[in-house]
Amino acid sequence: MKTYFRLLSFARPIEKYAIPYILFTIVAVVFGTLNLALVAPLLTTLFKQPAAGETVAVATPLPAEPPSAFDLIAFMNYYAQKFNDDFGLMTTLKYVCAVIVISVIISNIFKYLGERTMENLRIHTLLNLRKSVFNNVMSLDIAYFNNERKGDIISKVASDVQVVQFSVTSTLQVVFKEPLQLIAYLVMLFMISVKLTLFSMLVIPVAGWLISRIVKRLKAQAAE
């Protein structure tokens, strides 16, 4: 960890890039997860329409309004049904589709801004690393250059430094973005169906065990 934090020091001032990246990522993850929830009112509106030639004798009663907006699926279904009763099927579909399109656009815009901020951090870190390595090379004794190949020195300044920089910045991205996205999807899945989510989570250890067996067999074949 000491080596990692030492390399991370080349990204200073890291808060200049980290704070905007965190904000952009949170908004992108929230709206990206919301896209999954918005499918429910769309499907509810579509499949509640009467079949061809069928007449509806009794109007579908409006469900009770959810006591909390945190019950997102019931909240959206309630207002989809309310819009359907007040404005009709086609108008409701237009509103639902418009909300989905707007949510997707916002999610992609903030995802782009987050990636752009992370790319600026990569370039900033790479510049500082290359300056440090170059200054270190310039301060070495002349005898060092007689014993080392020039191509190796150029490779260290150009390619090797870029690999180190990419590993440092990618670690920051993975540590923050992936867990946040996983938590958001898990919360949304539990809001949709607790039983189905728990059942699907029970499959994960079985799938992990099968994948590990396959990976071990492939490694053994590669070693042979």
Boundaries of every domain in the chain: 2-50+63-192, 195-224
Q: Which CATH number fits domain 2-50+63-192: 1.20.1560.10, 1.10.3210.10, 3.40.50.2300, 3.90.950.10?
A: 1.20.1560.10
What's the CA gap between 37 and 96, in Å, rounded? 12
Q: Give mean pLDDT, residues 71-99.
A: 76
Distances (CA, A) of 151 to 85, 96, 138, 157, 159: 74, 60, 15, 10, 11
Q: Mind listing the pLDDT tens digit for each residue in 104-131?
A: 999 999 999 998 998 888 888 888 888 8
By C-alpha distance, which of 115, 155, 153, 148 is closest to 136? 153
Q: Give mean pLDDT, residues 57-78.
A: 60
What's the CA gap between 174 and 213, in Å, rounded? 26
Three-state SS for the chain is CHHHHHHHHHHCCCHHHHHHHHHHHHHHHHHHHHHHHHHHHHHHHHHCCCCCCCCCCCCCCCCCCCCCCCCHHHHHHHHHHHHHHHHCHHHHHHHHHHHHHHHHHHHHHHHHHHHHHHHHHHHHHHHHHHHHHHHHHHCCCHHHHHHCCHHHHHHHHHHHHHHHHHHHHHHHHHHHHHHHHHHHHHHHHHHHCHHHHHHHHHHHHHHHHHHHHHHHHHHHHHHC
Residue with tokens 């590990």: 212
Distances (CA, A) of 150 to 129, 137, 156, 163, 172: 19, 11, 10, 19, 33
User: Rounded mean pLDDT of the chain?
Assistant: 79
Band of pLDDT at residue 54, cut at 50, 70 and 90: very low
Quote the radius of gyration of the chain (alpha carbons, Å).
Answer: 27
Band of pLDDT at residue 205, cut at 50, 70 and 90: confident
Q: Mind listing the pLDDT tens digit for each residue in 152-177?
A: 777 777 777 777 777 777 777 778 88
Percent of the chain residues past pLDDT 70, beyond the cut: 84
**Confidence at residue 215, expressed as pLDDT on a 0 to 100 scale:** 92
